[in-house]
Amino acid sequence: MKKTAILFAGQGSQYIKMGQDFYNQFDYVKDIYKKASSILGYNIEDICFKENDLINQTIYTQPCVIVTSLAIYTVLMKELKISPNIMCGFSLGEYTALYASKVFDLESIIKLVKNRAEFMQDATKQTKGKMAAIIGMQQEILALLCKEQSKADEFVQIANFNCPGQYVVGGTAKAVEQLCEKALQSGARRAVVLNVSGAFHTPLMCLASNKMYDIIKRTKYSCPEVPVVMNCNAKYLNSKDLPELMKKQIESSVYFEDSIRLMINDEIDTFIEIGPGSVLTGLVKKIDSSKTLISINTLEDLKSLKENTEENNQIKY
Protein backbone atom coordinates (compact mmCIF):
# COMPACT_ATOMS: atom_id res chain seq x y z
CA MET A 1 0.00 0.00 0.00
CA LYS A 2 1.41 3.35 -1.04
CA LYS A 3 1.79 6.12 1.51
CA THR A 4 0.54 9.53 0.42
CA ALA A 5 1.32 13.11 1.39
CA ILE A 6 -0.77 16.10 0.38
CA LEU A 7 1.01 19.35 -0.44
CA PHE A 8 -0.86 22.67 -0.44
CA ALA A 9 0.09 25.56 -2.74
CA GLY A 10 1.27 28.91 -1.45
CA GLN A 11 1.07 32.55 -2.48
CA GLY A 12 2.34 33.28 -5.98
CA SER A 13 0.44 30.45 -7.67
CA GLN A 14 -2.80 32.44 -8.05
CA TYR A 15 -4.47 33.14 -11.39
CA ILE A 16 -7.85 34.40 -12.58
CA LYS A 17 -10.52 31.65 -12.70
CA MET A 18 -8.58 29.31 -10.42
CA GLY A 19 -10.98 26.78 -8.93
CA GLN A 20 -13.94 27.99 -10.99
CA ASP A 21 -14.67 24.59 -12.53
CA PHE A 22 -14.99 23.08 -9.04
CA TYR A 23 -17.23 25.97 -8.01
CA ASN A 24 -19.50 25.45 -11.02
CA GLN A 25 -19.72 21.69 -10.51
CA PHE A 26 -20.37 21.27 -6.77
CA ASP A 27 -22.94 23.07 -4.62
CA TYR A 28 -20.98 22.36 -1.44
CA VAL A 29 -18.05 24.27 -2.96
CA LYS A 30 -20.35 27.24 -3.55
CA ASP A 31 -21.22 27.04 0.16
CA ILE A 32 -17.51 27.30 1.07
CA TYR A 33 -17.10 30.45 -1.02
CA LYS A 34 -20.30 31.93 0.38
CA LYS A 35 -19.14 31.40 3.95
CA ALA A 36 -15.68 32.75 3.13
CA SER A 37 -17.15 35.88 1.58
CA SER A 38 -19.26 36.43 4.69
CA ILE A 39 -16.20 36.17 6.94
CA LEU A 40 -13.92 38.25 4.71
CA GLY A 41 -16.43 41.04 4.08
CA TYR A 42 -16.09 40.97 0.29
CA ASN A 43 -17.15 38.73 -2.60
CA ILE A 44 -14.26 36.32 -3.01
CA GLU A 45 -15.82 34.77 -6.15
CA ASP A 46 -15.41 38.08 -8.00
CA ILE A 47 -11.71 38.27 -7.17
CA CYS A 48 -11.04 34.61 -8.00
CA PHE A 49 -13.12 34.35 -11.16
CA LYS A 50 -13.39 37.81 -12.82
CA GLU A 51 -10.64 39.88 -14.44
CA ASN A 52 -9.19 42.20 -11.79
CA ASP A 53 -5.93 43.51 -10.32
CA LEU A 54 -6.78 42.76 -6.69
CA ILE A 55 -5.90 39.07 -6.92
CA ASN A 56 -2.18 39.91 -6.89
CA GLN A 57 -2.36 42.12 -3.80
CA THR A 58 -1.27 40.20 -0.70
CA ILE A 59 -4.33 41.25 1.28
CA TYR A 60 -6.56 39.48 -1.27
CA THR A 61 -4.17 36.89 -2.69
CA GLN A 62 -3.81 34.89 0.51
CA PRO A 63 -7.56 34.42 1.22
CA CYS A 64 -8.20 33.62 -2.45
CA VAL A 65 -5.49 30.96 -2.62
CA ILE A 66 -6.48 29.28 0.62
CA VAL A 67 -10.21 29.20 -0.23
CA THR A 68 -9.38 27.73 -3.64
CA SER A 69 -7.12 25.11 -2.07
CA LEU A 70 -9.46 24.04 0.69
CA ALA A 71 -12.35 23.86 -1.80
CA ILE A 72 -10.34 21.55 -4.09
CA TYR A 73 -9.27 19.50 -1.08
CA THR A 74 -12.89 19.13 0.04
CA VAL A 75 -13.85 17.85 -3.41
CA LEU A 76 -10.93 15.43 -3.46
CA MET A 77 -11.90 13.96 -0.11
CA LYS A 78 -15.59 13.66 -0.96
CA GLU A 79 -15.12 12.25 -4.44
CA LEU A 80 -12.15 9.90 -3.89
CA LYS A 81 -12.26 9.42 -0.12
CA ILE A 82 -8.51 9.03 0.17
CA SER A 83 -6.69 8.78 3.49
CA PRO A 84 -3.48 10.82 3.34
CA ASN A 85 -0.67 9.94 5.73
CA ILE A 86 0.92 13.40 6.02
CA MET A 87 0.01 17.03 5.25
CA CYS A 88 2.38 19.84 4.31
CA GLY A 89 1.91 23.29 2.83
CA PHE A 90 4.32 25.80 1.33
CA SER A 91 4.19 29.07 3.32
CA LEU A 92 0.54 30.16 3.08
CA GLY A 93 -0.32 26.56 2.15
CA GLU A 94 0.57 25.50 5.68
CA TYR A 95 -2.69 27.08 6.83
CA THR A 96 -4.61 24.85 4.41
CA ALA A 97 -2.71 21.85 5.82
CA LEU A 98 -3.73 22.84 9.34
CA TYR A 99 -7.36 23.06 8.24
CA ALA A 100 -7.18 19.73 6.39
CA SER A 101 -5.70 18.01 9.46
CA LYS A 102 -8.51 19.56 11.57
CA VAL A 103 -6.27 21.72 13.75
CA PHE A 104 -8.53 24.68 12.86
CA ASP A 105 -12.12 24.75 11.63
CA LEU A 106 -13.18 26.55 8.44
CA GLU A 107 -14.22 29.81 10.08
CA SER A 108 -11.07 30.04 12.17
CA ILE A 109 -8.69 29.34 9.29
CA ILE A 110 -10.27 31.96 7.04
CA LYS A 111 -10.16 34.56 9.82
CA LEU A 112 -6.52 33.70 10.52
CA VAL A 113 -5.53 34.03 6.87
CA LYS A 114 -7.42 37.32 6.61
CA ASN A 115 -5.40 38.62 9.55
CA ARG A 116 -2.15 37.18 8.18
CA ALA A 117 -2.65 38.87 4.83
CA GLU A 118 -3.43 42.22 6.42
CA PHE A 119 -0.50 42.05 8.84
CA MET A 120 1.97 41.01 6.15
CA GLN A 121 0.81 43.71 3.75
CA ASP A 122 1.20 46.32 6.50
CA ALA A 123 4.69 45.02 7.28
CA THR A 124 5.77 45.29 3.64
CA LYS A 125 4.76 48.95 3.58
CA GLN A 126 6.89 49.68 6.63
CA THR A 127 10.00 47.67 5.75
CA LYS A 128 10.36 47.90 1.94
CA GLY A 129 12.23 44.61 1.54
CA LYS A 130 12.89 42.57 -1.59
CA MET A 131 13.20 38.94 -2.65
CA ALA A 132 15.12 37.25 -5.46
CA ALA A 133 15.31 33.77 -6.97
CA ILE A 134 18.81 32.31 -7.19
CA ILE A 135 19.10 29.39 -9.61
CA GLY A 136 22.02 27.04 -10.16
CA MET A 137 24.10 27.70 -7.07
CA GLN A 138 25.16 25.46 -4.21
CA GLN A 139 23.43 26.16 -0.92
CA GLU A 140 26.68 26.53 1.03
CA ILE A 141 28.07 29.15 -1.38
CA LEU A 142 24.83 31.12 -1.38
CA ALA A 143 24.67 31.09 2.42
CA LEU A 144 28.21 32.44 2.57
CA LEU A 145 27.39 35.22 0.09
CA CYS A 146 24.35 36.16 2.18
CA LYS A 147 26.52 36.39 5.26
CA GLU A 148 29.06 38.58 3.45
CA GLN A 149 26.32 40.97 2.22
CA SER A 150 24.70 41.33 5.64
CA LYS A 151 26.30 44.30 7.36
CA ALA A 152 25.05 46.97 9.77
CA ASP A 153 21.42 47.72 8.88
CA GLU A 154 21.53 45.77 5.60
CA PHE A 155 20.89 42.03 5.48
CA VAL A 156 19.88 39.21 3.17
CA GLN A 157 19.20 35.54 3.94
CA ILE A 158 17.90 32.42 2.24
CA ALA A 159 14.13 32.63 2.70
CA ASN A 160 13.05 29.56 0.73
CA PHE A 161 15.01 26.32 0.48
CA ASN A 162 13.01 24.95 -2.45
CA CYS A 163 15.13 22.15 -3.93
CA PRO A 164 18.76 21.54 -4.87
CA GLY A 165 20.04 24.56 -6.80
CA GLN A 166 16.85 26.60 -6.41
CA TYR A 167 16.56 29.11 -3.58
CA VAL A 168 14.87 32.41 -2.81
CA VAL A 169 16.63 35.10 -0.80
CA GLY A 170 15.03 38.00 1.03
CA GLY A 171 16.11 41.04 2.96
CA THR A 172 16.67 44.76 2.63
CA ALA A 173 16.47 46.05 -0.94
CA LYS A 174 20.12 47.08 -1.29
CA ALA A 175 21.46 43.82 0.14
CA VAL A 176 19.25 41.70 -2.13
CA GLU A 177 20.30 43.62 -5.24
CA GLN A 178 23.99 43.32 -4.33
CA LEU A 179 23.58 39.65 -3.54
CA CYS A 180 22.16 39.05 -7.02
CA GLU A 181 25.23 40.63 -8.58
CA LYS A 182 27.59 38.60 -6.40
CA ALA A 183 25.69 35.38 -7.08
CA LEU A 184 26.01 35.80 -10.85
CA GLN A 185 29.70 36.61 -10.47
CA SER A 186 30.11 33.47 -8.36
CA GLY A 187 28.54 31.12 -10.88
CA ALA A 188 24.78 31.26 -10.36
CA ARG A 189 22.87 30.49 -13.56
CA ARG A 190 20.19 33.09 -12.82
CA ALA A 191 19.52 35.73 -10.17
CA VAL A 192 16.16 37.45 -10.59
CA VAL A 193 14.54 40.03 -8.29
CA LEU A 194 10.93 38.89 -7.76
CA ASN A 195 7.83 41.00 -8.23
CA VAL A 196 6.66 40.71 -4.62
CA SER A 197 5.72 43.43 -2.16
CA GLY A 198 8.23 42.60 0.58
CA ALA A 199 10.79 40.26 2.11
CA PHE A 200 8.59 37.39 3.29
CA HIS A 201 10.08 34.75 5.59
CA THR A 202 12.71 37.12 6.96
CA PRO A 203 12.95 39.19 10.15
CA LEU A 204 11.42 42.11 8.21
CA MET A 205 8.11 40.32 8.84
CA CYS A 206 8.50 40.37 12.63
CA LEU A 207 5.69 42.95 13.05
CA ALA A 208 3.29 40.59 11.30
CA SER A 209 4.55 37.47 13.06
CA ASN A 210 4.15 39.01 16.52
CA LYS A 211 0.56 39.99 15.75
CA MET A 212 -0.23 36.51 14.44
CA TYR A 213 1.26 34.95 17.56
CA ASP A 214 -1.13 36.93 19.76
CA ILE A 215 -4.14 35.96 17.66
CA ILE A 216 -3.30 32.26 17.38
CA LYS A 217 -2.86 32.06 21.16
CA ARG A 218 -6.47 33.26 21.47
CA THR A 219 -7.84 30.95 18.75
CA LYS A 220 -9.17 27.51 19.57
CA TYR A 221 -7.21 24.70 17.95
CA SER A 222 -6.93 20.91 18.20
CA CYS A 223 -4.29 18.23 17.85
CA PRO A 224 -3.83 17.25 14.18
CA GLU A 225 -5.73 14.16 13.05
CA VAL A 226 -3.13 13.72 10.30
CA PRO A 227 0.54 14.60 10.93
CA VAL A 228 1.58 18.03 9.60
CA VAL A 229 5.17 18.90 8.62
CA MET A 230 5.90 22.52 9.55
CA ASN A 231 7.72 25.03 7.34
CA CYS A 232 10.01 26.66 9.86
CA ASN A 233 11.76 23.51 11.11
CA ALA A 234 10.83 20.65 8.73
CA LYS A 235 9.49 18.66 11.68
CA TYR A 236 6.11 17.25 12.61
CA LEU A 237 3.77 19.56 14.46
CA ASN A 238 3.56 19.22 18.21
CA SER A 239 0.32 21.10 18.88
CA LYS A 240 1.53 22.61 22.16
CA ASP A 241 4.12 24.55 20.13
CA LEU A 242 1.66 25.78 17.50
CA PRO A 243 1.53 29.53 18.38
CA GLU A 244 5.32 29.81 18.43
CA LEU A 245 5.70 27.77 15.22
CA MET A 246 3.13 29.90 13.40
CA LYS A 247 4.96 33.01 14.55
CA LYS A 248 8.21 31.65 13.13
CA GLN A 249 6.38 30.56 9.98
CA ILE A 250 6.09 34.20 8.88
CA GLU A 251 9.55 35.50 9.81
CA SER A 252 11.71 32.38 9.30
CA SER A 253 12.85 30.43 6.25
CA VAL A 254 10.71 27.82 4.49
CA TYR A 255 12.57 24.49 4.63
CA PHE A 256 10.64 22.82 1.84
CA GLU A 257 13.40 20.50 0.61
CA ASP A 258 14.07 19.23 4.13
CA SER A 259 10.32 18.72 4.64
CA ILE A 260 10.07 16.59 1.51
CA ARG A 261 13.12 14.54 2.52
CA LEU A 262 11.59 13.95 5.96
CA MET A 263 8.44 12.57 4.33
CA ILE A 264 10.41 10.43 1.90
CA ASN A 265 12.39 9.01 4.82
CA ASP A 266 9.05 8.13 6.39
CA GLU A 267 8.17 6.09 3.28
CA ILE A 268 5.95 8.58 1.45
CA ASP A 269 6.04 7.63 -2.22
CA THR A 270 3.07 9.62 -3.60
CA PHE A 271 2.73 13.40 -3.39
CA ILE A 272 -0.54 15.10 -4.32
CA GLU A 273 -0.42 18.87 -4.78
CA ILE A 274 -3.66 20.72 -4.08
CA GLY A 275 -4.37 24.29 -5.17
CA PRO A 276 -3.64 26.59 -8.10
CA GLY A 277 -0.63 25.71 -10.21
CA SER A 278 1.80 22.80 -10.02
CA VAL A 279 4.93 24.44 -8.60
CA LEU A 280 5.34 22.08 -5.65
CA THR A 281 5.25 18.83 -7.62
CA GLY A 282 7.90 20.36 -9.88
CA LEU A 283 10.11 20.98 -6.85
CA VAL A 284 9.55 17.46 -5.51
CA LYS A 285 10.56 16.03 -8.88
CA LYS A 286 13.91 17.84 -8.59
CA ILE A 287 14.36 16.46 -5.07
CA ASP A 288 13.44 12.85 -5.94
CA SER A 289 12.18 12.04 -9.42
CA SER A 290 11.30 8.46 -8.48
CA LYS A 291 8.17 9.47 -6.56
CA THR A 292 4.63 9.50 -7.92
CA LEU A 293 3.62 13.14 -8.39
CA ILE A 294 0.04 14.34 -8.89
CA SER A 295 -1.27 17.90 -9.21
CA ILE A 296 -4.96 18.66 -8.64
CA ASN A 297 -5.49 22.12 -10.07
CA THR A 298 -8.57 21.62 -12.26
CA LEU A 299 -11.62 19.40 -12.36
CA GLU A 300 -10.02 17.54 -15.27
CA ASP A 301 -7.05 16.71 -13.02
CA LEU A 302 -9.43 15.20 -10.48
CA LYS A 303 -11.23 13.16 -13.13
CA SER A 304 -7.93 11.81 -14.46
CA LEU A 305 -6.82 10.78 -10.97
CA LYS A 306 -10.16 9.08 -10.34
CA GLU A 307 -9.92 7.16 -13.60
CA ASN A 308 -6.36 6.03 -12.88
CA THR A 309 -7.33 4.96 -9.40
CA GLU A 310 -10.47 3.05 -10.32
CA GLU A 311 -9.69 1.64 -13.76
CA ASN A 312 -5.93 1.15 -13.88
CA ASN A 313 -5.35 0.59 -10.18
CA GLN A 314 -2.17 2.68 -10.47
CA ILE A 315 -2.56 4.45 -7.16
CA LYS A 316 -3.75 2.92 -3.94
CA TYR A 317 -4.58 4.70 -0.71
Domain ranges of the chain: 4-124+203-312, 129-193
pTM tops 0.85, yes or no: yes
CB count, 10 Å around CB of 91?
A: 22
pLDDT tens digits, one per residue of 72-111: 999 999 999 889 999 999 999 999 999 999 999 999 999 9
CATH number for the segment(s) 4-124+203-312? 3.40.366.10
pLDDT tens digits, one per residue of 226-254: 999 999 999 999 999 999 999 999 999 99
CATH number for the segment(s) 129-193? 3.30.70.250
Could you say which of 101, 201, 209, 295 is catalytic?
201
Residue 222 among the catalytic residues: no
Residue 91 among the catalytic residues: yes
| Residue 314 binned pLDDT confidence (cut-offs 50, 70, 90) | very low
pLDDT tens digits, one per residue of 204-218: 999 999 999 999 999
| 200 vs 1 pLDDT, higher one | 200
Name the residue type at position 249. Q
> Residues 170, 202: contact at Cβ < 8 Å?
yes
Could you say which of 13, 37, 69, 91 is catalytic?
91
Sheet containing strand 86-89, strands side by side: 228-229, 86-89, 4-8, 270-274, 292-296
